[in-house]
Amino acid sequence: MRKVLCSLMVCVLFLLTGCSGSTDPQGAKSGPVTITIWHDKEDAVIAVLQEAVQALEPEVTVLFEKKTGMTESLKLVGNDQNAAPDMYFFAHDKIGVYAEMGILTPITELLGEDALAGYVPLTIQGATYQGTIYQVPLYFETLLFMYNKKYMAQEDVPATTEQLYSYMQRKTKYGHYGFVEQHSTPYYAAGWIHGFGGSLITDAGVPCLDSAEVKAALDYHKKFVAYMPGETEYATVNTLFMEGMAHATIAGPWFVPTVRAAGIDVGIAPMPVVDETVLPLAPYSGIQGLHVLKVQTERKKDAIVKVLQVLMQPEVSVKLAKVSGCAPAVESCYTLEEVTADPLIMAMKQTAETAIPMPNIPEMDVMWTVAGDLLTNVNMSGQDIESAAAAAQKKALELIEAMK
């Protein structure tokens, strides 16, 4: 009996200790180093990176691991030397959260102050949190104004929002829509708010949902919503455009290959300018790049720097832009013909002049939900803008307070 009990205890202890993983620090060994990079990207993008880092083998081997739920995983193991990756490849919008958690290494500590001097300013703006750069940008994406050339003639492509409205009034009938967008999703509606000179939140983390600019944008935007379908989530909007039932839309570059595969002759145009403010719709931009985990930096610094330097080469950026449908982060790429000849990339570069990087401050985490509620209440539930904005502002302040 005692023997059985002892065996059981040993099994339980084995199970418990087994969960803690290996404690062998790789950095203590000399010789080849393995760098692990978590990502959430498609295979074609990773193939470009993998090909580029092969030059470092056998001294440095880079292992790309696709992770679902990466942002949550990083919160759980971001400071665990045995479980955390060395780097991760993701959009810039979580930088503030991870920087506050203390799991990121400033890029300038690894590469020096001037290493990112030749980058598109928008990308550096996105990679910076409280004056420190935490990301090596690889490429960026912005929303684009897309239209179906079969239905929208070149002369009908709206230069201003009033022209767009007029087009919607004329063409929204018999199951067709002149223009559709995800009107109640903050990521998409932010372009309209920025077009009125407003924003969802300041750099200091103060919500602006009841500001005059936001209310003016919501009020103006409502008349466009009246000519769009009731539900305008991702699937509905994209399906309407792909089936030729929507003549124009605002969508990300990732949508273009799907649209082309569906046989749509798609055109890309600059964002319409708001007549009242003479500012273009200025969408959010996402900057995709590499972030380095602090917990691994000390023992693998040299290898990490080598990997970053290889992946920062302009030719890698160009290849990445081609396969991802996004725009290179390195400014010098825009002198190359293969980049300038690509209308999609150049449209994004043009939009980048006015686009705004998604806020990377931790407070933004709650703003997506609160701003989404505000947009839904105004656009879909018909609530009064004044009271809905005041309620949203109050809720945003409460939630931001609750974060601390």
Partner 1 sequence: MKQSPEKKARKKAAMAYLVSAPSLVLIFLIVVFPILYTGYISFTNMNTYHWFNFDFIGLSNYGRALLVFDSGFLSALLMTVVWTAVNMALQLMIAFLIANLLNVKHLPLRNVYKTILMFPWAMPGYVSILLWKTGMFNSQFGLLTQWMEDISGLTVRWLQNDVSAFICCTVVNLWLALPFMIMIMDGGLKSIDRSYYESATLDGAGPIRQAIAITLPCLKPIIGPSVMITLFTTFKQFDVIYLMTQQVGSQTGAHIHTIITYAYENAFITNNYGYSSAISIMIFMMLIIFAQVTNRRSKEANA
**Rounded Cα distance, 177 and 175, in Å:** 7
Position of tokens 């004056």? 131
Position of tokens 């990301």? 135
Closest CA to 395 of 214, 216, 212, 210: 210
CB of 86 to partner 1, least distance (A): 19
Q: Which two tokens stand for residue 115?
A: 């290493």
CB of 78 to partner 1, least distance (A): 8
- The three-class DSSP label of residue 60 is strand
Tell me which of 83, 159, 187, 301 binds partner 1, using CB under 8 A.
187
Which residue stretch of 22-30, 284-292, 302-310, 361-369 sits at the interface with partner 1 (rule: CB under 8 A)? Answer: 361-369
Of the pair 117, 235, the CB lying nearest partner 1 is at 235
Binding positions for partner 1, 104-143, rule CB under 8 A: none
Tell me which of 101, 305, 323, 397 binds partner 1, using CB under 8 A.
101
Q: Which residues contact 271 (CB under 8 A, 6 or more apart)?
A: 144, 145, 191, 250, 280, 281, 282, 283, 351, 354
DSSP per position, 294-338: HHHHHHHHHHHHHHHHHHTSHHHHHHHHHHHTSEESBGGGGGSHH
Q: Which residues contact 117 (CB under 8 A, 6 or more apart)?
A: none
CB of 1 to partner 1, least distance (A): 7
**Rounded Cα distance, 39 and 24, in Å:** 24
Cis omega before residue 58 (within 30°)? yes
Of the pair 28, 402, the CB lying nearest partner 1 is at 402
- Give the per-residue contact string, 217-246, with partner 1 (x = CB under 8 A; - = no): ------------xxx-xxxx--xx------
Phi/psi-derived region of residue 278, left when phi > 0, alpha when psi is between -120 and 50, beta in every other case: left
The reply to whether 263 sits near partner 1 by the rule CB under 8 A is: no
Of the pair 7, 34, the CB lying nearest partner 1 is at 7
The reply to whether 102 sits near partner 1 by the rule CB under 8 A is: yes
Tell me which of 56, 61, 73, 75 binds partner 1, using CB under 8 A.
75
CB of 10 to partner 1, least distance (A): 12
**Rounded Cα distance, 295 and 81, in Å:** 6
Tell me which of 123, 135, 172, 185 binds partner 1, using CB under 8 A.
185
CB of 9 to partner 1, least distance (A): 9
Tell me which of 85, 137, 158, 362 binds partner 1, using CB under 8 A.
362
**Rounded Cα distance, 374 and 218, in Å:** 9
The reply to whether 204 sits near partner 1 by the rule CB under 8 A is: no
Which residue stretch of 1-9, 114-122, 195-203, 296-304 sits at the interface with partner 1 (rule: CB under 8 A)? Answer: 1-9
Contact positions toward partner 1, by CB under 8 A?
Answer: 1, 4-5, 8, 11-12, 15, 75, 79, 97, 100-103, 182, 184-185, 187, 229-231, 233-236, 239-240, 362, 365-366, 368-369, 372-373, 376-377, 380-381, 399, 402-404
